[in-house]
């Protein structure tokens, strides 16, 4: 890289095992900084920082002289800059593209970064998921910095990119917004500060033969193509690049197939995303479609248990766990059973308090020809892996 804008600085990331901070750590290191970190436990994203000095468990203990960056999940544990403030600094250091929205922002961000790289534009990228074709959730080049923003805590408003895209607007974070109208107003206020804007809901889904399934991905691709056009990429070239995009980890990811049972894992966690993932699974023509949902946020579960139950009703069978490691405080009477009780008949319903119980129940139900889809923000991928590993050959 021709310049290292963070050279001479040292950063200690508290929550480095998260999707965001693991990516920020990699960017900071590539831009010349010394990097170390801490997390409460092992996560799938620690693979991306396997050669960084990372402590697991106990309490964070930053080396003397290190600037401290704290993830939202560990706010209040130790004094330091928020991850949002650090990301805003990164965005300010390069020509940047930021993608937000209720659904599809991870895949859309990855599509943009992938197409730019394939077409020789040498981007940097920060994506909230592992992108196998890009080698992880972050990468560094000389060109555009492509970033997935986060509206859940309003932190996307701190980012000042040259190009911004919002995929769609739907109320998903009830602790931050009182209504969908408030969310829409928030996005418009942010977009008013950006020179070039793409509103994904105004676009028709593409008619391309994509490498990722589902109508929702055709909508994601439409947003990505509009952003690439704003970045000066010729349309035909952008389309040729996008059709070879193979997806993001935990976005309808085939974890494995054994004994005639296919197991798919998906990050879907709100009603629209869950229904979209299960409708996409229907395209696989399963004998029986089994959904396993792990609730993650107590307030979302309280507000949307009816809609979540209805979405799981797209499946032939639904297994629901208790709320796992919710990022908000427990609420009296709010458990995964609220969702399960609202799954409509004739969908078969199964309660599994823990992920281990869910894997065991899914194994008991699954037969050759079935598709099992694990869903949720937390770590339902562990359920998916456990099912695959225990299936008979």
DSSP 201-235: GGSPPP-S--SS-SHHHHHHHHHHHHHHHHTT--H
| pLDDT for res 224 | 98
Are 100 and 189 in contact by the 8 Å Cβ rule? The answer is no
Strands 136-139 and 124-131, bridge-based pairing: antiparallel
- Alpha-carbon gap, residue 248 to 253, rounded angstroms: 7
| Terminal Cα-to-Cα distance of the chain (whole angstroms) | 48
Three-state secondary-structure class, residue 39 = strand
* Structure-derived torsion over alpha carbons of residues 63, 69, 74, 76, reported in degrees to the nearest 10: 90
Q: What is the CATH number of domain 94-242?
A: 3.40.1190.10
| 128, two tokens | 């909230």
**HSE-up (13 A, CA, CB side) for residue 327:** 14
What is the CA angle 225-229-232, rounded to 5?
Answer: 140
| pLDDT for res 173 | 67
- Alpha-carbon gap, residue 393 to 351, rounded angstroms: 27
Three-state secondary-structure class, residue 59 = coil
What is the CA angle 320-324-328, rounded to 5?
Answer: 125
Weakly modelled stretches of the chain, pLDDT under 50? 1
Evaluate whether the domain defined by 253-390 bears CATH number 3.20.20.100.
no
**Domain 10-81 in this protein, CATH class:** alpha beta
Instruction: Please indicate whether the domains covering 94-242 and 253-390 agree at the CATH topology level.
Output: no
Burial class of residue 330 (count of CB atoms within 10 Å of its CB; 0-12, 13-18, 19+): exposed
Are 69 and 81 in contact by the 8 Å Cβ rule? The answer is yes
| pLDDT for res 328 | 81
| pLDDT for res 177 | 85
Tell me the domain boundaries of the chain: 10-81, 94-242, 253-390
């Amino acid at each position: 890289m021709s310049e290292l804008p963070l050279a001479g600085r040292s950063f200690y990331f508290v929550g480095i095992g998260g999707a965001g901070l693991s990516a920020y750590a990699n960017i900071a290191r590539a831009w010349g900084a010394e990097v170390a970190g801490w997390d409460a436990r092992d996560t799938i994203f620690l693979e991306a920082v396997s050669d960084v000095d990372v402590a697991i468990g106990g309490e964070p203990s930053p080396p003397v002289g290190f600037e401290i960056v704290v993830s939202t999940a560990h706010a209040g544990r130790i004094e330091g800059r928020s991850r949002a403030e650090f990301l805003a600094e990164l965005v300010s250091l390069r020509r940047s593209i930021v993608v937000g929205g209720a659904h599809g922002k991870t895949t859309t961000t990855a599509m943009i970064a992938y197409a730019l790289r394939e077409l020789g534009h040498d981007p940097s990228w920060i994506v909230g998921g592992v992108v196998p074709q890009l080698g992880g959730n972050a990468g560094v080049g000389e060109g555009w910095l492509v970033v997935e923003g986060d509206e859940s805590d309003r932190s996307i408003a701190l980012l000042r990119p040259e190009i911004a895209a919002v995929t769609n607007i739907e109320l998903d974070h009830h602790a931050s917004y009182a209504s969908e109208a408030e969310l829409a107003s928030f996005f418009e206020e942010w977009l008013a500060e950006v020179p070039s804007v793409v509103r994904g809901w105004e676009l028709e889904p593409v008619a391309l033969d994509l490498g990722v399934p589902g109508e929702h991905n055709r909508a994601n691709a439409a947003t990505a193509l509009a952003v690439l056009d704003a970045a000066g990429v010729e349309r035909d070239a952008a389309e040729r690049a996008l059709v070879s995009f193979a997806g993001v980890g935990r976005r309808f990811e085939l974890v494995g197939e054994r004994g005639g049972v296919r197991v798919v894992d998906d990050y879907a966690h709100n009603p629209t995303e869950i229904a979209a993932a299960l409708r996409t699974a229907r395209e696989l023509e399963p004998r029986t479609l089994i959904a396993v949902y792990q609730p993650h946020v107590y307030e979302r579960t309280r507000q949307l248990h009816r809609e979540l139950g209805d979405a799981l009703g797209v499946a032939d069978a639904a297994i629901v766990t208790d709320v796992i490691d919710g990022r908000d405080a427990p609420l009296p009477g709010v458990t995964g059973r609220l969702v399960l009780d609202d799954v409509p008949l004739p969908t078969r319903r199964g309660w599994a308090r823990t992920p281990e119980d869910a894997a065991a129940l899914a194994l008991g139900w699954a037969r050759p020809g079935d598709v099992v889809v694990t869903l949720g923000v937390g770590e339902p991928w562990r359920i998916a892996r456990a099912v695959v590993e225990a299936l008979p050959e």
